[in-house]
A and B are shown apart, each in its own frame.
Chain A
Amino acid sequence: MSEFATFFTNTLSLAVPLVLAGFGGLLSERSGVMNIALEGKLLVGACAAAVVGALTGNPYLGMVAALVASTVLSLAHAELTQRYRMDHIVAGMALNLIAIGATNYVSKLEQFSQTLSGVVRVPQAVLASIIVVLIAVVMAVILRGRGGLHLWAVGEDPVKARLVGLNPVAIRYLALLGTGLFCGLGGTWIMANASGFTDGMTAGRGFIALAALVLVGWRPLPLLAACLVFGAVQSLQLVFQGVPIMGTVWPSEVWAAMPYAVTLLALAGFAGSTKPPAGLGVQ
């Protein structure tokens, strides 16, 4: 394969978890629930896919486990913010900590640490097809469907949405269910491209996806584009690591830090210039 083709496939592969987490975040935040827990949801998804896949030897069961685990965490998010009216940031933080703690614990259990090396993977073509269809359907619903209109309405103004007969709490539960499924798929994808589960292996992808969401003003098509750009930045390191530029080989840490630095710069440049849903974080 030519260098460019490698770069291109790497970009797509690295962008997928960002796109999935980004769309999960889009559903949640458009419904009015601030979501800093995308990272945690990806992480439990990846861990569940690894553990169940390895224990059963069936990667599809691993995928189902990932969907279930992320969705359970996401529905807990709905419970905390909608039923118990907890501050959205605090709830998200708590869920992230639970995700880190739980996955660390599970991956160190003796009975698992043996099997975790024998990772089984869902074939990428299968996963990719599921993802493409899912994104297309969700995009259509958001842009042209009744569901998208309701999602937008409750995220902008839950009180007015109630006046026209919508049920904001029910819509937010559904939206967070969607977030869970997207993050579960994201976790599965990450595992399908890794040699095994390691602690914190999602490496901030959930937060980068959240940054992309903020950058594009919570709009689906630009979100897709932004995630691809972030994917491209991540794959730069695979191309340029160890390759001399202007006569010197740059330390690999520079390339590894690139995605985070670009996120930071982009956020600094765009901060405040995009308009969040008016009801974001409002009970």
Chain B
Amino acid sequence: MSHIDLRHITKRFGSFTAIENVDFRAEKGRIHALVGENGAGKTTLMRVLFGALQPDEGEVHIGSEAVRLQSSSDAIARGIGMVNQHDSVIPALPAWRNLILGAEDGPWLNQAAVIERAEALAKPLGFEFDWTAPAATMSPGATQKLEILKLLWRNAETMILDEPTAMLSPADAEGLYGTLRQLAEGGKTIIVVTHRLPEVLEGCDEVTVLRGGKLIESRPVAGLTAPQLAEAIVGRSVEAPELTPPNLGEENLVVENLTLGHSLRDVSFSLRAGELVGLAGVDGNGQRELLRSIMGVLRPDRGTIRLQGLNVTKASTRARLGAGLRLIAEDRYQEAMIASWPLVENAALGQHLRPPFARNGRRDLAATRVAAQAMAERFRTKFVSLDQPIGGLSGGNQQRFIAGRALADGGGVVLAFQPARGLDLAGIDDVYGALRAHTRAGGCALVVSFDLDELLAHCDRIITISHGELRVPAPEQARDREAIGRMMLGEEA
């Protein structure tokens, strides 16, 4: 008898059917993976189970009892807890206040009693916290642990985790699955929504695949291979990209002894024409500062930056753009686009003074339209009109358009910060495929990602950054996942 049993669930939003006639079962003591591409209906299904959405058809059974979940509070009362993709920890509050927020047991808070019970929950899992320090001081891994404790504090029997490892280092991710295994052995029902297939194969017991809102299959993980799973998710066979060795040319970007406060310490590396280099590291270890320094947004304390042989250490961002430097920014809304402006205007952002967007000091609207059309088609951006605001596109399509813009005029140096964030498997292949094509055509690119597997799958070589120190793996460890993982944490390879 399954502890969680969703039967024939259908959920529509207007005329759009998000999930159709989906069955989902999860047992106590097991870790169940729910996988699928963006828009496959994973999150919708889990929001139904968490009471945040009411299904149009179908039944929810918990512990063999048919239930009607009108709200998340109903679900919580039934022992269901959910850790969302974006954490719900408030940085300014101490850990113990975050733990109980929304689940206090009376009008007055008893710090000593809370910490005592919290310790009792944390100890068996091997968690240690400074309960009175602001949560802002906690690492992403510790924040994730606090999220799990929040569910235990609310007596959750069934735990839903949506992309729990998205912001974790490989070691922290492994630790997380250790914790989940321990919780499962203690009788909890664990459901993990993820797009990282190695996690499914190594960490989970059962897997359910959704595609286009429909159930594709639900089966034990044992005996399943990565290509089989990928094919079930995408609906066609997916081949791992073949990494042809790059045809190396001149050093297009040379960074020497770059130092910026405590964020960057004596960072030196170079990118040669023709290569796609991955910068692996845990979020917040200097990646942002490095890219901003190269773009000329931050001024380093020391060091030099050479672009196509020119020393641009003191040059303006505009001059660097002119020398062929391009950025696929981390935060689209803050750094890459103006959401309320149409696609055609966003196409010219940052390049609006240069051909083809302007000629003789005047904007060339016709040429801009042609360029924008090409950018949109490059990665099959789904859009209605070049005149529609870019904010109206889905996140994945915005990212496709912005990647298309950065790669529009080949040959340059492209910096990309988590370029595949928010994209599904097809989109990830599109973006990395384009970066590869760009480098094979004589350009070069540096990709920052927190997902080491993604970098290993697509990049020619990998460098790591930890606490602002950049390190290059020894040749024999160039593709050694464990060794690079240790370097990301600043340990010896």
Contacts and interface: CB of A to CB of B under 8 A. Distances in A.
Interface string A251-283: 000000000000000000000000101100000
A182 interface: no
Given A156-B93, A165-B72, A165-B73, A149 B88 contact: no
A219 to B, nearest CB: 12
B427 to A, nearest CB: 26
A222 interface: no
A144 B92 contact: no
B245 interface: no
Contacts of A278: 91-92
A145 interface: yes
B124 interface: no
Contacts of A165: 72-73, 76, 102-103
A147 interface: yes
Contacts of B107: 145-147
B16 interface: no
A152 B93 contact: yes
Interface in B100-123: 100-104, 106-109
A146 B76 CA distance: 20
B90 A160 contact: yes
A166 B87 CA distance: 16
Contact of A146 (B88, B89, B109, B150): B109
A164 B88 contact: yes
A149 B109 contact: yes
B400 interface: no
B102 A166 contact: yes
Given A144-B109, A146-B106, A146-B107, A164 B101 contact: yes
A165 B108 CA distance: 18
A152 B73 contact: no
Interface of A is mostly: helix
Contacts of A152: 90, 92-93, 97
B93 A160 contact: no
Contacts of B88: 160, 163-164
Given A153-B101, A163-B84, A164-B88, A145 B108 contact: yes
Contact of B108 (A144, A156, A166): A144
Interface residues of A, number: 19
A112 to B, nearest CB: 43
Interface string B69-84: 0001100100000001
B104 A146 contact: yes
Contacts of B150: 164
B35 to A, nearest CB: 24
A156 B90 contact: yes
B89 A160 contact: yes
A149 B104 contact: yes
Interface in A149-182: 149-150, 152-153, 156-157, 160-161, 163-166
Contacts of B104: 146, 149
Nearest to A164: B102
Nearest to B92: A156
B429 to A, nearest CB: 32
A95 B76 CA distance: 42
A163 B162 CA distance: 14
Contacts of B109: 144-146, 149
Contacts of B106: 146
Nearest to B106: A146
Nearest to B87: A160
Q: Which of B84, B87, B102 has the most A CB atoms < 10 Å from its CB?
A: B102
A156 B134 CA distance: 13
A160 B109 CA distance: 20
Interface in B36-78: 72-73, 76
Contacts of A144: 108-109
Interface string B14-52: 000000000000000000000000000000000000000
Contacts of A156: 90-93
Interface of A: 144-147, 149-150, 152-153, 156-157, 160-161, 163-166, 275, 277-278
Given A153-B90, A163-B88, A165-B73, 8 more contacts: A144-B108, A149-B97, A149-B109, A150-B101, A156-B92, A163-B84, A275-B92, A277-B92
6 contacts: A145-B107, A149-B93, A152-B93, A163-B88, A165-B103, A275-B92
The 8 closest A-B pairs by CB, nearest first: A164-B102, A163-B88, A165-B102, A146-B104, A160-B88, A156-B90, A156-B92, A146-B107
